[in-house]
Amino acid sequence: MSYAEKYEHQMKEFLQVCRRLSENMYVTSHGGNLAWRLEEDLILITPTKLNKGDIRNEDLVFIDLQGKRIEGERKPTGESPMYLNFFGQRPDISSVIHCHPPYTNAFAITEGDNWLMRPIFPEPSTEVGPVPVVPYGEPLTQKLADNFLPYLRKYNAFLMENHGLVIMSPEGIYRTLELIEILEVTSQSLLATLAIGEIKEISREGVQALDNTMRTRNLPLFGAPGENRSLVDLYFA
């Protein structure tokens, strides 16, 4: 049985996420890419040089953790080195999306405060976490992939300086899309607030209470297992 037959359901979900990213204008032209680890050494990944809204089943590619193409006719995305680092350094992670949502991307090009590192609303604070800016690196290079290394164990979401967003999750690809949508609406609210006044963040005491919310909802803490102790440590250390 081929991997395309074995993972028919996952491939259908993967394509649905590709199309939603395109419809929402979170990716344009050939930009953005997605990857979903389906087995310990098997990754479903987008092909290079295709609009995400146009990708079909036969365009998808399966690679291993060394980047070798296992199944599929097309070449995998040129950002494969980035994904190999992600899955190699974070065995707890199942799916990753790189895209360019416009409101969130504003914080990738501003010289002002990165408000995505602060606790603003309960939902992004408990489901997405702080979003650090990873220094700029030339696209499609190992250098860009390696720029993530100092941040990978502590966080699950990253702004690539002057480039775009990366979000990863221990759950499936659709859940990772949901996290992008949460973050994009948060960014929209932040930019609207900055236009009319000052931003008010959740207090330390409020974030401490959100630690209880995470336990109640059985939400995993961001970062590699055991890396972070609490939301308070993440936001106020």
* Amino acid 70: pLDDT: 97
Percent of the chain with pLDDT over 70: 100
The whole-angstrom separation of Cα 35 and Cα 94 is: 8
**pLDDT > 90: percent of the chain:** 98
* Mean pLDDT (whole number) for 4-17: 98
- Interval 100-126 mean pLDDT: 97
Dump pLDDT digits (tens) for 120-146. Answer: 999 999 999 999 999 999 998 999 999
Do the beta carbons of residue 201 and residue 217 sit within 8 Å? no
Distances (CA, A) of 140 to 103, 136, 144, 203: 23, 12, 7, 40
pTM, 2 dp: 0.96
Structural domains for the chain = 3-236 (3.40.225.10)
Q: What is the pLDDT of residue 38?
A: 98
Is residue 237 pLDDT above 90, yes or no? no
Summarised one tens digit per residue, pLDDT across range 158-182 is 999 999 999 999 999 999 999 999 9
- What is residue 48's predicted lDDT score, i.e. its pLDDT? 97
pLDDT per position as a tens digit, 62-83: 999 999 999 999 999 999 999 9
In this prediction, residue 83 carries a pLDDT of 97
Positive/negative CA dihedral, 120, 126, 128, 131: positive
Residue 119 pLDDT exceeds 90:
yes
